[in-house]
Amino acid sequence: MPSAQRLTKPSVKDGGGRQIKPDVVAYKKARILEEASALFFDKGYDIATLEMLADRLHVTKPFLYTYFRNKSDILAAVCAVGVTESLSALDVVSDAPGTPADRLRAALEEVARIIIKRTDYIVVYQREIMNLERSDAQRIIRLRHEFDIRVARLIEDCQKAGQITLDDAPAMSVWIGGLLVWLPNCYRPGSRRSADEIVDQAVHACLRLVGIQ
């Protein structure tokens, strides 16, 4: 599968026009998105400003423009994190040993852990989708559709192996995606139930949807 499309500029130069190493760019972008997701989660996108974000990072506002065009560009990148990381997890699991059901279970576990890890990002996407530029919103929706297709293929592999007998099992991929993105409503750091418990329960519920106990 081709890698997910970038939502930001592929190359970055510093204030002196020098090319910044890709690993440094990736690290700094990740730090910006980490703080931006927390800021948008706490304040809301409309209230949050680039000045607030720069203060959280202890950098200047022009520093942010080195990596992102504007606040909307940052929002788009935040909103894409969950689905792009989930697609990457599916890439890894697709080559894992074991039965098709083993790979489906492993995929669901990985995605559930990503969603719990990226709770702020997921909530920001759900809450701020109307603030996305139309092209960014459509791009993320296409990535989410690709995720549903990939999960449906894993389910179809289970059918072919005789591990699932429900005729409409692949159609459950959309419901599985909906169940997984509900996880931020079930878990926050410090919750009574641990992240591992939530992941186990979510995976069990997803597997039951397609007839795997």
Global pTM reads: 0.86
Is the CATH code 1.10.10.60 the one for domain 12-68? Answer: yes
- Outline where the chain has alpha helix (H): 22-43, 50-57, 61-65, 71-94, 100-117, 119-128, 134-160, 172-180, 195-209
Instruction: Give the position of tokens 């969950």.
Output: 82
Q: What span, in angstroms and rounded, lies between the C-alpha atoms of 100 and 24?
A: 38
Question: In the chain, where are the structural domains located?
Answer: 12-68, 74-209
* Closest to 83 (Cα-Cα) out of 27, 147, 35: 147
pLDDT in tens, 64-120: 999 999 999 999 999 999 999 999 999 999 888 999 999 999 999 999 999 999 999
pLDDT for 55 equals 97
Is the CATH code 3.10.20.740 the one for domain 74-209? Answer: no
Helix 100-117 / helix 172-180 crossing angle, nearest 10 deg: 30
Could you tell me which residues come within 8 angstroms of residue 117 by beta carbon, excluding any fewer than 6 positions away? none
